[in-house]
Structure 1
Amino acid sequence: MSQAVPVRALLRPLIPVGDLFAFALQVLRSVFRRPFAWVEFFDQAWFVTRVSLLPTMAITIPFGAVLSLQIGSLFNQLGARSFTGAVAVVGIVQQAAPIATVTIIAGAAGTAVAADLGARKIREELDALEVLGIPVIPRLVVPRVLAVAVVATLLNGVATAVGTIGGYIFNVLVQDGSPGAYLHAFTALAQLPDLWVGEIKAFVFGLVAGIVACHQGINAKGGPKGVGNGVNQSVVISFVLLFVVNTVLTLVYYQLVPPKGL
Structure 2
Amino acid sequence: MKHVTLLFAFISLLGAAAFAAHHGGKWHSLFDGKTLDGWTANKENPNSYFVENGNLVVRGGRSHLFYTGKVGGANFKNFELKMKVKTMDNANSGVYFHTAYQDEGWPSQGFEAQVNTSHKDPKKTGSLYAIANVYVPMEEEEPFVVRVGRMGAEVYREKAPSTDGQWFDYHIKVVGDEITLRVNGEITAAWTQPEGYKGPNPNMAGRRIGSGTIAFQAHDPGCEVHYKDIQIKLLD
TM-score class, shorter:
under 0.3
Q: TM-score, normalised by structure 1?
A: 0.24
Larger of the two Rg values belongs to structure: 1
The structure carrying a bigger helix percent of its residues is: 1
The structure carrying a bigger strand percent of its residues is: 2
Q: TM-score, normalised by structure 2?
A: 0.26
